[in-house]
Structure 1
């Protein structure tokens, strides 16, 4: 908690939560940026399946490169991060999904990504 929490919500708020032991509701955790989104118990399964379906329609290689860059951003300096982003942009632009995305934009249609 002492490693991740200050990076997620800032030093001051993390310090207060850690030292005072305040309880954080799911709504508050979302507002603070501790979690992306919360769903009620009643809608949880439906909403998570919707999110999974949305991700499944996206270009998986680009998502993997984005995840890599985000993970490395915690330890890279700015120069290293910009170099990684440049490398990842070149790699992403060589995929079939990139070409499909460009064509779909030009043709004003939804893209059909295949993870290639």
Structure 2
């Protein structure tokens, strides 16, 4: 009556249960670390990127105060005040209110390191 056991070994059932639990623990850990879930392009504006939005400034996103994706229940990072100012400057440049030279000068002032 080998059809009533989980294989030919007496410990086959325990091995199958152990492997199933190992799979569940692995999926849970992947989910908690943020490596399992929505794809990177669907995570929102604060998705973890190696060089983030400050690539032009030569700073990694973590050094610029941005943090990675925390999942649907985690705390979402707040945008920096400089981001809003840069957006206003870009809008004014697009509307023709300021020249490209003025834009670059003001962006340089905003991106200076504060002591």
Q: Which has the higher contact order (CA 8 A, sep 6+)?
A: 1
The TM-score range, normalised by the shorter chain, is under 0.3
Q: What is the TM-score when the length of structure 1 is the normalising length? A: 0.27
Which is greater in Rg? 2
Q: From the two aligned structures, give the one with the greater helix fraction.
A: 1
